[in-house]
Chains A and B, each alone.
Chain A
Amino acid sequence: MRYSGFKVIKEALTGHKGWTPAWRDPEPQAQYDYIIIGGGGHGLAAAYYLAKEFNQKRIAVLEKGWIGGGNVGRNTTIIRSNYLLDGNEPFYEFSLKLWEGLEQDLNYNAMVSQRGILNLIHSDAQRDAFIRRGNAMILNGADAEMLSTEQIKERYPFLNTLDARFPIKGGLAQHRGGTVRHDAVAWGYARGADTRGVDIIQNCEVTGFRIENGKCLGVETSRGFIGANKVGCAVAGSSGRLMAKADMRLPIESHVLQAFVSEGLKPVLPGVITFGAGHFYVSQSDKGGLVFGGDLDGYNSYAQRGNLPTVEDVCEGGMAIFPALGRARLLRMWGGIMDMSMDGSPIIDRTHIDGLYFNGGWCYGGFKATPASGFCFAHLLARDTPHPTATAYRFDRFEKGLMIDEKGMGNQPNLH
């Protein structure tokens, strides 16, 4: 069924009796050409592009819970392509371009809103670094503009530009950045994949791999063995746990990241703002809640909930630039498990096991990557060669010293 304004009006006038489920609930078949493990944004997008762009058939997505219950439904919904390094920027710009056409492509309202993102600058050194980054973005076909304090004041009069401790010295703006309704991304890709014949199988946990003579023949699941020619893993925070079942150790640690939403307010914040002297980012949802977050808690965790010191730290960051925030009450907070890699950049690669492919290490920037990650993973699965924008996301880059470390932090996952 195609969604349209006409359809909405027709259904409104006829008692909404004509809507059908957006995807089927099929029983798993015995054998597929492709199995994607993980029904998050990346897994669903990979299945969608495999079917649509690469004309592949007999595809299943296996999800242990319900689709969209993982990080894709837990993030702070920010999209942008303001990276510095060659290995990253073309990939994230490719992703942003896919976001720009996504809703028409999927025939689904994902509420892609290019309201702009502004990275605040608080010191001269930071200005230099951000000018360099802006130039790198422009060289890669992205948009970037340096804003003065006056220009920022005009757009965001409530920002604390007077504070001597963290004075706002300007900002790097990417006007094409913004936010997207996160769970609609999972649902839109699921519907698009399902329409093209992909089986989305929920409540189906992968418990092991069947590997014989160095080849992966399929997966053991809570619903029995399912065979496949190729198996792609896209389970984000559960990467370490899942790949251990194939006896793999990854350059990844799982960490908890928290997010927060305030009570609904009248429109105050037109775009996305990030604080440059601490770690804090905020946007306002269309329902009016201020959606914000900051640093990881910093220790290995699979608990999907964090602790209070981080809450305090995030709120301090918020108060430093946006004192009015203190008047808003916090409505909800939650945590998600991040697949933090050793250099802060992801992996989209084959494993040493024939027929077993891996997508992970997204840290806390993987939501914006969803379309390109799905596209590039589908490319790798279908053609066995990396997509041109994802050639650097290899497993062996750590061994070879080819790290893509945007922040220059080294092999400390909790600092990326």
Chain B
Amino acid sequence: MIIHHPLLGPRDAAEFTYMGDAKLIDRPDWQSETAAQEFYEYGYLRDNPAGWHKELWFHEAGDRSWLVVTRNTLTHEISNVELARDVARARGRSK
């Protein structure tokens, strides 16, 4: 698989470490009343879809940026690659 890194262009997926569903960006609020339940779901439950999946890839053997890759789990086709930083900021994280 080739991942089109937004800063570096096409890179071999073997340079990256796969870090799972991009929903992990949305860490629950630790002060919430139901934090224990939310962290359990966050830590352990997954949608695991057959089809399009937004996921985190860490460019470990490259520039060490985190990417959000939209990839089809049935075909391995990649349709979109963003910097995880941009995605997180757009969702109000890491201001």
Contacts and interface: CB of A to CB of B under 8 A. Distances in A.
Nearest to A248: B45
Contacts of B74: 302-303
Interface in A90-113: none
Interface string B41-76: 101111111100101000000000000000101111
A299 B21 CA distance: 10
A252 B48 contact: yes
Given A298-B18, A300-B55, A398 B44 contact: yes
A307 B76 contact: yes
A254 B53 CA distance: 12
B90 interface: no
B40 interface: yes
B5 to A, nearest CB: 16
A31 interface: no
B18 A414 contact: yes
Contact of A251 (B13, B20, B44): B44
Nearest to B46: A253
Interface residues of B, number: 25
B75 A250 contact: no
Contacts of A398: 40, 43-44
A399 interface: yes
Contacts of A160: none
A240 B51 CA distance: 12
B73 A303 contact: yes
Contact of A303 (B21, B40, B76): B76
B8 interface: no
A250 B40 contact: no
B54 to A, nearest CB: 11
Contacts of A300: 20-21, 48, 53, 55, 73
10 contacts: A240-B48, A240-B49, A249-B41, A251-B44, A299-B18, A300-B20, A303-B75, A307-B1, A307-B76, A309-B14
